[in-house]
Amino acid sequence: MTKTIPESLLEALAYIENLLNDGQIGQALSFCEQLLVSHPQEKELLLLYAIALQIKGERKESLNILQKLAKSNADSSEIWNHYALILFEEHRFEEAHRTLQYSLELDPKNPFAWWLKSIFRTFQHDPQGSERAYLYARWLEPESYPPYPSFSESDLLSIFESIKEELSEKQQEICAMLFWNVLEIPTISHLEQLQTSPIIPLIFLESTQMTIHIFRQNIRRLGIEEETLSGILKEELIMALENSHFNTILA
């Protein structure tokens, strides 16, 4: 018999989701920890806690929670999806693929799983497969997976050049090296060298980590407009140029 979640807890879970959606990660974590005192085994609460930890960058702790949840909730595709995502972030790619496949076997019409599949295929250098997976996610849930905006290389170059004009002469010299990082998906080995998640540049262009990679395909995934892209890219460029490890990372 499935346990019924009390209405008050359901309201609390919805509140935590709203905090996460609004980017208030610290508050979401704090609220989760308060509720876990009285509801230590509540799977929906534990899942939100794991997601909050993951967003904050505490992936090891998030992974431990998701591993336990997956073992005790083997029929929950939602948990397996997030488990696959955190494995992918930890560069455990084969495990991530197997986990995602299991999730799709549980629920072949889960749009989030097909979105994940599109990301996985991007990093397998399979753009056609990535596009097909994304289109299926869009077909299943069009409001959550809108059509990609189209930014050509010339569009990005135009935006990039207009931003360069606002920078100092010294910064402009370094920018010439950076532009090549704008155009392509990174290699797995490069991501491992940076010790960064392959997902962060796909979901958050602005982050606490050094995200000098603003990739064309990733920009399309985000569904942002040119004016927004220009503002974010400028902030990222300045952050990269001011970072003392910039030249080392580019090399």
Interval 144-192: pLDDT, tens? 887 766 676 677 778 777 877 877 777 776 666 555 555 566 677 777 7
Whether the pLDDT of residue 94 is over 50: the answer is: yes
Q: What is the CATH number of the domain that holds 76?
A: 1.25.40.10
User: DSSP H helical segments within 124-215, as ranges?
Assistant: 127-140, 153-164, 169-178, 180-183, 188-194, 200-203
Residue 135 lies in a domain: yes
Chain mean position to CA 170: 32
**Do 100 and 130 belong to one domain?**
yes
User: Is the model more confident about 246 or about 105?
Assistant: 105
Contacts with 210 (C-beta within 8 Å, 6 or more apart), sequence order: 194, 196, 239, 240, 243, 245, 249
Tell me how far apart the alpha carbons of residues 246 and 78 are, in angstroms, rounded to a whole number: 38
* Confidence category of residue 45, pLDDT binned at 50, 70, 90: very high
* Per-residue model confidence (pLDDT) at position 248: 45
33 is in which domain, residue-wise?
A: 1-57
Calpha distance 50→175 (Å, rounded): 37
pLDDT at 174 (0 to 100): 64
Distance CA 116, CA 99 (A): 11
pLDDT of 76 over the 90 cut: yes
Give the Å distances, CA to CA, from 53 to 14, 47, 139.
17, 10, 30
**Greater pLDDT, 199 or 143:** 143
Last residue of a domain, one of 93, 121, 147: 147
pTM higher than 0.85:
no
Residue 196 maps to a domain: yes
212 and 163 fall within a common domain: yes
Cβ atoms 66, 79 nearer than 8 A? yes
Asked whether residue 100 falls in the same domain as residue 132, the answer is yes
- Residue-level pLDDT at 130: 87
Assigned domain for 202 exists: yes
pLDDT at 200: 67
Domain count, the chain: 3
- The residue among 147, 172, 188 that closes a domain is 147
For residue 62, tell me if it sits in a domain. no
Asked if residues 79 and 69 have their Cβ atoms less than 8 Å apart, the reply is yes
Is residue 208 very low, low, confident or very high in pLDDT (cuts 50, 70, 90)? very low
